[in-house]
Amino acid sequence: MERNTQQRQAIIAVFEKARRPLTVQEVLELAQKRCPGLGIATVYRNLKALVTEERLEAVDLPGGMVLYELPRSLHHHHFSCVKCLKVYDIDVCGLNFQKLIPKGFQLREHELLLSGFCSGCST
């Protein structure tokens, strides 16, 4: 387990405040407000360690983009704003994919990404 440094505390606080998935660049910019000398290498190192410790989860999006978020106990999906590029959690999954998969296939997992304009960009 890594030490609970000022940099790590700043990174965790960013996720607790944002309450949505964040890019590495967003983490850097927001955490630098609490810890001005924070560098990108330190952010990457801490994100990797926090994922290993299961204190954060990596979210792989289409196109190879990776975001990070606090772990959640319930399965959920994401909404990506095409204007501001922020990604938000969708709290529920009420979809029944069994009706969609071919006969004899077994579904193990799924991920759904919705896109459009967030409430801040739609006006």
CATH 1.10.10.10, the chain: domain bounds: 6-69
Average pLDDT over residues 90-109: 83
**Band (2; pLDDT cuts 50, 70, 90):** low
Express each pLDDT in 54-87 by its tens digit. 999 999 888 888 999 999 877 788 899 999 989 9
Rounded-to-integer distance, Cα 60 and Cα 91, Å:
17
Task: Give me the phi and psi of 26, to 5 degrees please.
Answer: -65, -45
Task: Give me the phi and psi of 40, to 5 degrees please.
Answer: -65, -35
**What pTM value is reported for the model?**
0.79
CATH number, domain 6-69: 1.10.10.10
| Amino acid 40: pLDDT | 96
Express each pLDDT in 14-31 by its tens digit. 999 998 999 999 999 999
